Each structure stands twice: as C-alpha cells, then as structure tokens.
Structure 1
Amino acid sequence: MKVRRLYFFVALATLALPSPCRPADTLGPEAEAYAPTSPPLARTIVGRVAVIDGNTLWFSRAAMKVRLAGIDVCALPQWAFDPKRYEKSPVLKPVPCGALAKAWLKRTTGDQEISCMPAKIDSDGAFIGYCFARGRDIGAEMIRFGWARVGYPSLPSYASWQRHAMAARSGMWAAYVLDMGEWRAKAIDQTLQRKPIADFNLMAERRLEISPPFIDARRRPAQADR
C-alpha cells in the first residue's frame, strides 16, 4: 500500500514539472507570444501605407515594411546638382534628389490601398516585392518619371521606361547625380543633416557617371577666352 502511494505522489510531481517542449509548440496564450510575425512570402500585403523614403513603404496595420523590388533611388540625405548655372555663379544649385524621390512616391501612393507581393526578405528584415496602386506598378511609375533607376534583378519593361525617362531628362536625369551604390559606399555622414557640399566633393571624385548631364558637359565645346 505504501509503495502504491509513493508511485502516486511521484506521478503527481511529474505532471507538475514544466513541459520540455519548445515555446513554438506551446498552446494557448504562450503560443501567441512566440508565433512567427512574418507571413509566408506568397501572401499579398494590402492596405494604406506611409512612405519611409523613395522606395520603402510601411503598412501600419500589418506592421510590415516593404521595399520596392527592381529599383534604386537616391538616399534621403543624397543631393544632386542642377547643371544650369544661375547668374553666372560658379556654384551649382543643389537638388535634394532623395527627398524628391520620397515626395514622388507619396504622390503615387496617396491615401489609396496599396497591394504588395513580397518576393524575398532584405538584410534588415524588410520585405522586397512589387507593389501596385490601382493596378499600376509603383516601381515602374517611379522609373517612368525619373525618380528611380533600374535595380537588378528587375522586370524587362523597367529598362525601357528608364531609357524614355533619361531621353526626356525627367526627374533626377536632368541633374548631375552620383551613382547610388557609390554614394552609399563613400558617404560617411548619411544623416538628414548632410550638407550639399559633401556630395559636391564626392561628385568631383566620382567613379561612375550615370546621368545625361555628364555626357552633355563632355560634348559641350570648350569656351575660349577672347
């Protein structure tokens, strides 16, 4: 009889011990705390958005960040420069290409519902995918109006839209603009307090020339002093 009672208390003690299962296997409120926050990549994200920068959207209700696939844009602190000289000034007029890219993306998205199809996840946890507003590809619109350039990989139609935008000198293609990858690699100060002179200096030691005004400047005949 004593042996039976001993086994009974051992069984009770065993049941009272915490389960060795992993948190992800737990049922009830604990399971919700450890539930994965990222949806499968096949899921379409739909909702109104806030614009973070020229190619990043924030879905507040879903608490998800989506970066537009297939394009690259000026970073928010990046400056370009107007090739036209005003009042014979030797200093080129700065153009806030990063801020203008963000403004154009805000204009494109507006207050309407945006749908995004995530294709992969970026290193910072943001989704990367193609997004649409009223059936129109937002990335293609950014390229078409000259506030984004083709990134890789991208859709075949993007290259065609970029050629049209460059030929028309639309958006940033009307300015001297430093290659975005080169800017990210060389710009030490990447805060919103960055001054135009910092990008002017980077432009002087540029490795790549991506915008038409560079070509125009080389074709322009040299002025001779009389």
Structure 2
Amino acid sequence: MIVAAVVAVAVILRPDWVDAALNADAPALPPIAAELETTRQADISGHARIVDGDGLEIGGQRIRLHGIDAFEMRQMCGANACGQASANALRHLVGGRPVDCVEMDRDRYGRSVAVCRAGGQDLGAAMVRQGHAVAYTRYSHRYVPEELAARRDNAGAWAHGFTPPEAWRRAS
C-alpha cells in the first residue's frame, strides 16, 4: 500500500522520474540527489567478503546495504533457492573489485547501513533491479523504481513468486 502511494505521488508530481525508473538504463535517483551522494567521500572502502544478499564485510566491518531487503540464505522462491541466488548475485556484482560505501545509518546490531558501489555501480539498485532483493520501504523508498521495473520484467525471484524476506523471517 505504501509503495502504491509513493508511486501515485511520483506519477503526479514527477512523471519524468517514473518514466526514467521504468527505463533500465536510467539512473534511479533524481539527478541532484545522485550528485550529492557521489560527492561524499566513502566512509568504508576495500575488498569485500559477501555475507549474504544484502550484507558484506570490509576490513572486519560488517555492512548492510541501505534500502534493500534480500532473500534469506535458506529462503526458497518456489523451487528456486532465491536466498543463495541472492548472495551469488551480490558476489558477481562485486566481482572481486574494491567496494566503496557511504554510511547512511547504523542498525541495532551495530552494523553500518550504507550505499555501496563497485566499479561505480550502486549494488543495492542492481540487486533490486535484477530481482534478487526488494526495496526495503520500511527504511527507504530509494529503490522503488528498480523494484517496479524488476516486477514488470519478471526478473529474478519475481519470475518464481515469493514471500517477502521480512515476512519470511517472521514466519521462520
């Protein structure tokens, strides 16, 4: 319901953002927000070890990707092991390259919650767009356009049907 309200407001106030969001080649952020973020120095940088689909570790520091909720490692989406696929997708996106993260917050476990990039690509945006995670709208609406595009294209878990990760954790 929240996603629908956000989309309705975006369609009314900024239809160009919605059009851009549904175009896979377009940036997910309004240009000003993207510019401000890219001018910030990375708070954490280095080679990452992938923990799961929305978690990584750099130099012993645990990081959770801001604004996304990836499938849990044991989670299935139909007959598809979407939790393992999610972790593998993040591993592939990083591809052994250095990762730069801008901290947005800290979670209740003391982890950094950050927007991270590898090779200039926003890892959260790519994970959601490929259908290996969902926009975590409880905390951010940043990746809603990518989720709408993934759903439209039946990308990743959207092709199999799934229980949202947050609901799956509550039920487990």
In which range does the TM-score fall when normalised by the shorter chain?
0.7 to 0.9
Whole-angstrom distance in 2 between the partners of 1:149 and 1:180: 8
In 2: Cα distance, 1:43 partner to 1:103 partner: 24
- Scaled by the length of structure 1, the TM-score of the pair is 0.56
Q: Does 1:171 align with 2:168?
A: no
Residue 97 of structure 2 aligns with which residue?
Answer: 112
Output the CA distance in 2 between the equivalents of 1:108 and 1:119.
21
The SS at the match of 1:95 is coil
Deviations 1:75-105 (A, max 9, x none): 1011110xxxxxxxxxxxx110000000000
Give the aligned CA root-mean-square deviation in angstroms.
1.4
Greater length-normalized contact order (CA 8 Å, ≥ 6 residues apart): 2
Partner SS state of residue 150, structure 2:
helix
Aligned match of 1:76: 73
Q: Which runs of 5+ in 2 are unaligned?
A: 1-40
Contact in 1 for aligned 2:42/2:100 (Cα 8 Å)? no
Aligned to 1:55: 54
Question: Match for 2:156: what amino acid?
Answer: G
Q: Name the amino acid aligned to 1:151.
A: Y
Identity of aligned residues (%): 27
- Post-superposition Cα deviations, 1:117-145, rounded to whole Å, max 9, x if no partner, equal 11211111211010011111110000111
1:133 and 2:118 matched: yes
Q: Note the residue ranges of structure 1 that are not aligned, 5 or more in a row.
A: 1-41, 82-93, 188-226
Q: What's the counterpart of residue 23 of structure 2?
A: none
One-letter code aligned to 1:71? I
Q: 1:154 is aligned with what amino acid?
A: S
Displacement, 1:186? 1.1
**1: CA distance, partners of 2:57 / 2:48:** 5
Q: Is the partner of 2:168 in helix, strand or coil?
A: helix
Tell me the secondary structure at the aligned position of residue 48 of structure 1. strand
Q: Which stretches of structure 1, 4 residues or more, deviate above 6 A after TM superposition?
A: none
Structure in which a larger fraction of residues adopt strand: 2
Residues 68, 161 of structure 1: alpha-carbon distance in 2 compared, 3 angstrom cutoff: same
- In structure 2, C-alpha distance between the alignment counterparts of 1:79 and 1:131, rounded to whole Å: 26
